[in-house]
Amino acid sequence: MIKFLDLHKVNDRFRNEFKAAFSKSLDASNYILGENVSKFESEFAQYCGTAYCIGTANGLDALTLILKGYIQIGKLKKGDKIIVPANTFIATILSVLHAELEPVLIEPNPYTYNLSIEHVEKALDENVKAIIMVHLYGQLADNESLMQLCKSNDLLLIEDAAQAHGAIASTENENFKSLKAGNLSHAAAFSFYPSKNLGALGDGGAVTTNDLELFEAVSLLRNYGSKEKYKNEIIGFNSRLDDLQAAFLSIKLKYLDLDNEKRRAIAKQYLEGISNPKLKLPSYDGSHNHVFYAFVMEVEDRGSFTKFLDEHKVGWLIHYPLAPHKQNAFRQFSHLKLPLTEQIQERVISLPISPVMTDEQLKTVIEVLNSY
Ligand SMILES: *Cc1c(COP(=O)(O)O)cnc(C)c1O
């Protein structure tokens, strides 16, 4: 069986380094917001190229705290409309609702699966105050056009970078230096959920930003509204990045670029090797703007295709089987007509892709796909 994702193998590479970090943490006994959190925060800010990074408990909280932070500093207010992709993991939209803001669901570009600028432009009105772009499947959204749109309409641009750690924007504008995910907007949210390109051994998340005011607000919000113990400045939450997870993340961060390179190499071999007309392959320009959190194809008769993969012992997953506006939790959006999102949700299927996949496994998957 070729697993969709062999997490044991992914993490076993770092067993000795993890053990040393655990031992050190046990000795330091500084379990909450200890030195490992501040060390990882400065390393991750430096990696992304941002001035600040704040560790959070998970990716959903990172998104929610950005929005709550903007409310705190007066840049958003309750009821403001926030543009989000309709075709995303549910967390993007949940964060908007948790912050008591109003999500406006937008159809994707059918080739990149990311926000379509045309659809975004049509949805703008005086109540829209921010756009959340998701770098879906690890491919950067059209950040330059979205930033331009936000600048000319005085909107905030927020990144959901939960699937895009380490992706680098390609730019045709020579005055623009290459920027990484996390530094393509006013504030970005990351998740370190174990399956992500940079994954912890449990939950974790982070906010990156260059905005000092937002940094201060999110720092307070994630820790009971408190800077000094037992002194509470604002109504906060408990959403701290776990100190031990931060230590593990510092170890894995050193290998992130190599792991992303491996994912891109696998994707390129899939794109070259798969020649089955029944399978629509993802569009990829060969640059570093994609870190292939997922390799997502489209197939019309998905039910029989997944059966075939099961018979041939090839793991697969669907990102995502039911669009957010079709979920029971989101009945308030069930009237929306989002045909592109619905078609994508019915056809997509993700293949195994990970830094520990062997050449042998890759060859087998390609052979199986071509024999379908
Ligand atoms: C994983 C993910 C999140 C949420 O992260 P958690 O750490 O699971 O809360 C948010 N947005 C996207 C696009 C994700 O893939």
Whether 96 and 124 have beta carbons less than 8 Å apart is answered as: no
Q: Summarize the confidence of residues 159-177 as an average pLDDT.
A: 86
Q: Give the atom of ligand 1 at the shortest distance from the alpha carbon of 204.
A: 7
Q: Which amino acid is at 288?
A: H
**pLDDT, position 178:** 82
Q: Same CATH topology for 7-253 and 256-370?
A: no
What letter does residue 4 receive in the DSSP assignment? S
Per the listing, tokens 């506006």 go with: 325
205 lines ligand 1 (CB under 6 A): yes
CATH topology of domain 256-370: Aspartate Aminotransferase, domain 1 (3.90.1150)
Q: What is the pLDDT of residue 175?
A: 63
Residue 188 pLDDT level (bands cut at 50, 70, 90): very high
Is the bond into 320 cis (omega within 30 degrees of 0)? yes
Q: How far does the centroid of ligand 1 lie from the alpha carbon of residue 273, in Å?
A: 31
Give the model confidence (pLDDT) of 295-340 as tens digits. Answer: 999 999 999 999 999 999 999 999 999 999 999 999 999 999 999 9
Question: Could you tell me whether strands 81-85 and 226-228 are parallel, antiparallel, or unpaired per DSSP bridges?
Answer: unpaired
Q: What is the pLDDT of residue 176?
A: 65
Instruction: Give the CATH fold of the 7-253 domain.
Output: Aspartate Aminotransferase; domain 2 (3.40.640)
Task: Say which residues have a Cβ less than 8 Å from residue 312's Cβ, sequence separation at least 6.
Answer: 368
Taking the domains of the chain in order of start, what are their residue ranges?
Answer: 7-253, 256-370
Cα–Cα distance measured from residue 46 to residue 69, given in angstroms and rounded to the nearest whole number: 22
The per-residue pLDDT for range 61-87, each reduced to its tens digit, is: 999 999 999 999 999 999 999 999 999
Confidence tier at 171 by pLDDT (50, 70, 90): confident
pTM of the model: 0.97
d(CA 56, CA 367): 42
Please give the average per-residue pLDDT across 192-207, as a whole number. 98
Has residue 184 got a pLDDT over 80?
A: yes
SS3 state of residue 13 = coil
Say yes or no to pLDDT of 155 above 80. Answer: yes
Residue to substitute in 193, 207, 222 for testing ligand 1 pocket (most ligand atoms within 8 angstroms of CB): 193
What tokens appear for 267 in the block? 């994707």
